[in-house]
Chain A
Amino acid sequence: MKDFYLVYKNLTRKKLRLFLTCFAIFIAFLIFGAVTALQGALNSGVEMSADNRLVVFNKINFTQPLPYAYVNKVRSIDGVEHVTHANWFGGYYQEPANQIVTMAVAPESYFEVYEELVVDPQQKASWLANQAGVLVGERLAKVNNWQIGDRIPISSSIFSHKDGGQTWDLVVEGIFTANDPQIDTGYMVFHYKYFMETQSWGGDYVGWIVLTTEDPALNEQVAKAIDENFANSQAETDTDTEKAFNKAFIEQIGNIGLIIFGVVFMAFFTILVLVGNTMVLAVRERTNEIAVLKTLGFSSPRIFRMILTESCLLSFLGGLLGIGAAFLVVRFLSEMMARFLPNLVLGSDILLQALGYMLLLGLITGIVPAVNALRLNIISAFARG
């Protein structure tokens, strides 16, 4: 494009203005990139949840237990495929700040229900054989640098060991992975029976029940059957798809989707008005020059294109810098918060989306001055200037 030099010179003729508008766009895309990555991380649990998996909680709230007998009752309901259960342990390693997501689970059925988890058969066998054994998720093992055979003392912030203290000595018998890198493996599981026998209160209750249905189409029917089955009993249940539960859980933190939309929308709207205004003024200042170009024989559509190119160039300049900065920020945060927010990444999907918005921003902020220039009449422009 022979006119590119001209476009470039027009864009850079006022350095301070270029810097300020660029900076505004930079901020908008920094916010967009970081916030969208954050949203993606929060939503990945929802996206990754299986379609036919249901969770059964105590109706009062999800921290209240359910009687162990419910597990078999759920198993007998029509349409149910596999059933397992889990208890929250509330673990930490060495110091309370170092939280370890630990659950006491039914060892055999857990991996039937969570089919996406992969564990070496030999490791699984030795875990099943060792009551004090624990299977550690790959990410968690990596974060703490745990190897198979390691003896790890895990303390509970909720339960006490019947031998005194709050610490359980567990042995890493295996490391499980997942068949999709998006699936979080930042937790570990140990034996339900061992947990119940060694904690001071004893009892036979489970934290929650997880099951798969034979077909996602049966989800609603099965959920209804379960809840009706336990209606008016000592512990009423609330059964929901895993997806719905994860989503509801996230929404407890606040309606994140809406907040994020609001923040991004406001940032973009402000920048749109600011940059759009600046572009209009910048081009208006050039009325005389545009009239000269037209007189020399530059066609109106060509000048129209030049101005749109300029506004897009500005948008991509600020936008790419902004998304680049967002990438660095997200990478930094993901290292810091690997524990709480796995899957915090600024991936190619966000980048593509951002590129689309850059183009859109460029076109919208350029369209008014470009049309003004297109319509500019040589004679009246000279008469004015």
Chain B
Amino acid sequence: MNQDNLFELNKVSKRFTKGKETISIFDNLDMQIKRGDFLAIMGPSGSGKTTLLNLLGGVDQPTSGEVWFDGSRIDSLSESQLAKWRANNIGFIFQFYNLMPMLNAAKNVELPLLLTNLSAKERQQRVDTALQLVGLADRAKHMPAEMSGGQLQRVAIARAVVSDPKLLLCDEPTGDLDRRTADEILEMLQLLNREFGKTILMVTHDPAAAKYATHTLHLDKGQFVREGGVPAEEVSL
């Protein structure tokens, strides 16, 4: 595995079997993600974007092929090993924020830290830092129901970065937001990428959002294609 790459997919296939029918989403897909990339993935609905994120995030496993992360294979890990791996390496940002409604902003951000050995005081410090980073230090005690979409997504970003993961996986992080708020969120991701060196993979339908990324890949019918729909021989970044 190339040292510059954080992720490598080697001949990854993914099929879903429902009853007698088998749908193939990916067939021998190859892909590399360089450290420090901010990669946008675009493509029509049903093209497999979320499925790809799930494979990279260790939430789903390929039918065949290898998934390498930072020098080790994750496709053969058990469910509990994957859970631990996710906690240590990946920050997740969802379209609909997915915050716990009964926890305030600070407690939501603290969740990933419950999986570490940090003391309550250290956790508190990290939460404060993360909330400051997303500009919500004054909202720590607010409940999700009391916040706007943009604020909720910023809490979610704080939650994603609080345990300092290498990779952020974002599935349409601005899909539920208006233009201005979306731009704020995207600027924040850009900052995380540029200033904090986070590798980011973002699925989006929005070409304007993709402009914030350093590269954009187009996915169609389980294949990477050139912009405009022509199949790419090899995706060069």
CA of A251 to CA of B169 in the docked complex: distance in angstroms? 72
Smallest CB separation, B4 vs chain A (Å): 26
Stretch at the interface among B30-38, B63-71, B84-92, B128-136: B84-92
Asked if B80 and A297 sit within 8 Å, CB to CB, the answer is no
Q: Would you mind naming 13 contact pairs between A and B with Cβ atoms under 8 Å apart?
A: A289-B100, A292-B94, A292-B100, A294-B83, A295-B86, A295-B92, A296-B112, A297-B83, A297-B85, A298-B114, A299-B84, A379-B54, A379-B60
Beta-carbon contact of B59 and A6 below 8 Å: no
Partner of B59, one of A2, A10, A288, A379: A379
Q: Which of chain A's residues have a CB closer than 8 A to the CB of B85?
A: 297
The one of B84, B88, B111 in contact with A293, judged by C-beta atoms closer than 8 angstroms, is B111
Task: With CB as the reference atom, state the residue of chain B lying closest to A293.
Answer: B111
Which interface class (under 10, 10 to 19, 20 to 34, 35 or more) fits A?
A: 20 to 34
Interface check B1, CB cutoff 8 A: no
Give the residue name and chain of the A residue nearest to B99 (CB): A292
* A3 and chain B: residue at smallest CB distance: B114
Q: Are B57 and A295 within 8 A (Cβ)?
A: yes
Decide yes or no: A296 and B80 within 8 Å by CB, A288-B98, A289-B100, A379-B54 being known contacts. no
**SS of B interface (majority):** helix
CB proximity of B10 to chain A, nearest CB, Å: 22
* A297 touching B84, Cβ below 8 Å: yes
A335 to B196, CA, bound (A): 73
- Closest B residue by C-beta to A1: B114
Interface flags, A340-372, vs B, CB<8A=1, else 0: 000000000000000000000000000000000
**Which residue on A lies nearest to B100, using beta carbons?**
A289
Interface set of B (CB-CB < 8 Å, partner A):
54, 57, 59-60, 79-80, 83-88, 92, 94, 98, 100-103, 107, 111-112, 114-115, 159
Closest chain-B Cβ to A179's Cβ sits at a distance in Å of 56
Given contacts A2-B114, A379-B54, A379-B60, contact A297 B102 (CB under 8 A): no
- For the complex formed, measure the closest distance between the CB of A121 and the CB atoms of chain B, giving whole angstroms: 69
Partner among B79, B101, B114 whose Cβ is within 8 Å of the Cβ of A300: B79
CB–CB A299/B102 < 8 A? no
A73 at the interface (CB under 8 A from B): no
**Which residue in chain A gives the minimum CB-CB distance to B80?**
A299
Find out whether the CB atom of B107 lies under 8 angstroms from the CB atom of A5: yes
Asked whether, in the complex, the Cβ of B86 is within 8 Å of the Cβ of A297, the reply is yes
- A15 CB to closest chain B CB, in angstroms? 11
Residues of A whose CB lies within 8 Å of any CB of B are 2-3, 5-6, 9-10, 12-13, 288-289, 292-301, 378-379
With A5-B107, A288-B98 as contacts: A298 and B115 at CB distance below 8 Å: yes
Q: Is the CB of A298 within 8 A of B59?
A: no
Give bound CA distance, A295 to B83, whole Å: 7
Query: Please, which residue of chain B has its CB at the minimum distance from the CB of A9?
Result: B102
CA distance A10 to B54 in the complex (A): 27
B115 to A, closest residue via Cβ: A297
Hey, which chain A residues are within 8 Å of B100, CB to CB? Answer: 6, 9, 289, 292
Please determine whether B86 and A296 come into contact, CB atoms closer than 8 angstroms.
yes
Having A2-B114, A296-B87, one finds 6 other A-B pairs with CB under 8 Å, namely A288-B98, A292-B100, A297-B85, A300-B83, A301-B80, A379-B60
Known: A297-B87, A379-B54. A10 touches B60 (CB 8 A): no
CB neighbours of A295 from chain B (8 A): 57, 59, 86, 92
Q: Are A300 and B103 in contact (CB under 8 A)?
A: no
Contacts of A297 in B (CB 8 A): 83-88, 112, 115
Q: Closest residue of chain B to A299, judged by CB?
A: B83
Measured CA separation A378–B84 after assembly (Å): 15
Which residues on B sit within 8 Å (CB–CB) of A292? Answer: 94, 98, 100
Instruction: List B contacts of A10 (CB < 8 A).
Output: 102
In the assembled complex, which residues on chain A have CB atoms less than 8 Å from the CB atom of B88?
297
Chain B: minimal CB distance from A250 (Å): 52
Closest to A296 in B: B112
Taking a contact as CB atoms closer than 8 A, the residue among A13, A296, A378 that contacts B111 in the complex is A296
Q: Provide the residues of chain A in CB contact with B159, threshold 8 Å.
A: 296
| Distance to closest chain A CB from B18 (angstroms) | 11
Contact among B60, B87, B101, B103 for A6, CB-based, below 8 A: B103
**A153 → chain B closest CB, angstroms:** 70
Contacts of B59 in A (CB 8 A): 295, 378-379
